Structure 1
Amino acid sequence: MADEDFEYFLTKLPLSIPGPQCTDEHVRTYTGLVPDCLISYWQEFGFSGFGNGTAWLVDPIEWKLTTEEILLDSVQHPRLGDDAQYIPFARSAFGKVWFWTPGYGVSLVVEPVRGTMFFRQPARDLSVSGLEGTMKAFFGASDSERFDFLDREEQPMFDRVYEHLGALQFDELYGFAPGLRIGGAAIVEATHLFQIHVHMALLRSVIGDHWYVAG
């Protein structure tokens, strides 16, 4: 059974698009690296989409290459060492990704479509139970606004893009063509379905070493 925080998350963003299942390899590899509650979410819900695909649980094994060699190949978190681990655990329909670092909490938020990277402060309580609470609170406090994308008029886009393009598969995202970093516009008419890892690599090639960094 999901805990109280995740049950509350589901009232706002119900399970909508079943994704791949959690395997024994996921449990073996990530026990002790991510909070137990996250593994229980994987086991109960798989790597699925919620709220019609507004939000997704991320498979860190599937994302390993994209994380280490594409998105975060040159990242240096100002509060973490070179050996820090960044484990993707949630993403939006538009490719915004949240990363967890063992013993630290939510460490990094990356939004490749805009080329932005936000370094997070450590969790207030770095005990095992405190980090567990941090993960639960992330989902309990999440709603569609956290995962949506604002257009050029600062209006949320997800519902309109969903109507325009239809539902995502687990390995897809909504993207823009032309891309925003090369002069494209954040309008519904410019959105397309893309294979997520291919598109992440394309966006990363456009960003180069020129991330917009905060935190």
Structure 2
Amino acid sequence: MDEAFSIFLEEFGAPIERREVPVSSIQRYRGLLPDQLLEYWSEHGWCGYGSGIFWMVNPQEYDGVVASWLENTEFEKMDSYHVIARSAFGDLYLWGEKTGASLKITSILSRCSVHKSIYIGDKMDKGVQAFMVSKRVGTNDYGDLFKPALKKFGLLGPDEMYGFTPAFMLGGLDDLEHMEKLKIVEHLMFLSQITELKPFDYSDC
């Protein structure tokens, strides 16, 4: 295990719901995603960390989600993106084949944040390591609701997320009382169709 992943585990703790990554998936993404990420897959599998607040995922399962969120946005033609990780609340970490760790979607709010990575080209393996080291438990929470949600609903499965019903972007409330454990792909597809994806406006913060 390399130092970057060790630092990540110190922050998040032991994995849950580990799924072994088939050789076919490694081959599918060889040349599209960095070798370092594929090595992590081979060694650690796809699984949740921090009791499921953060997940390393199979990008193929999210291809339709990515297409739906990015349709008719500037990102659609900018790069080819793959979801490599997600949070318990449906935050999506997208890896661009040319731009690296450059795009994050906060699905509950239909907002995205763009990052210009310095780790592109032949530096993408270092970019994967930097991505892992930079992750924090707190920044994957939503309104400090993870622990209450975990207590109320139990651990998430690999195909589940905590979400709000009715959806926040439809005027629903983003509190524990209006939260449910939902199928992640289906709910993300639904959220992607409610309103257009917009960049965060940090002037409102």
* TM-score (normalizing by structure 1): 0.87
> Where do 4+ consecutive residues of structure 1 move more than 3 Å?
none
Identity %: 26
Question: Does structure 2 conserve the Cα–Cα contact (< 8 Å) formed by 1:103 and 1:131?
Answer: no
SS at match of 2:38: helix
Residue deviations 1:97-125, cap 9 Å, x none? 0111123211211111111022221x224
Superposition map of 1:1-215 within 5 A:
2-68=1-67, 70-77=68-75, 82=77, 84-121=79-116, 123-128=117-122, 130-150=123-143, 156-207=144-195, 209=196, 211-214=197-200
Tell me the CA shift for residue 146 of structure 1. 2.2
SS at match of 1:140: helix
SS at match of 2:120: coil
Tell me the CA shift for residue 5 of structure 1. 0.8
- Amino acid in the other structure paired with 2:146: F
- Amino acid in the other structure paired with 2:110: G
SS at match of 1:178: coil
Gaps of 5+ in 2: none
Tell me the CA shift for residue 83 of structure 1. 6.1
Question: Does structure 1 conserve the Cα–Cα contact (< 8 Å) formed by 2:79 and 2:99?
Answer: no
Identify, as 1 or 2, the structure richer in helix: 2
User: C-alpha separation between the residues in 1 aligned to 2:88 and 2:131?
Assistant: 17
Residues 177 and 102 of structure 1, relative CA distance in 2, 3 Å threshold? same
What is the RMSD of the two structures over their aligned residues, measured on CA atoms? 1.7
Question: Does structure 2 conserve the Cα–Cα contact (< 8 Å) formed by 1:160 and 1:188?
Answer: yes
- Amino acid in the other structure paired with 2:198: Y
- Amino acid in the other structure paired with 1:71: W
Gaps of 5+ in 1: 151-155
SS at match of 1:203: helix
Residues 89 and 125 of structure 1, relative CA distance in 2, 3 Å threshold? closer
Work out the number of aligned pairs and report it. Answer: 201
- Amino acid in the other structure paired with 1:124: I
- Amino acid in the other structure paired with 1:57: M
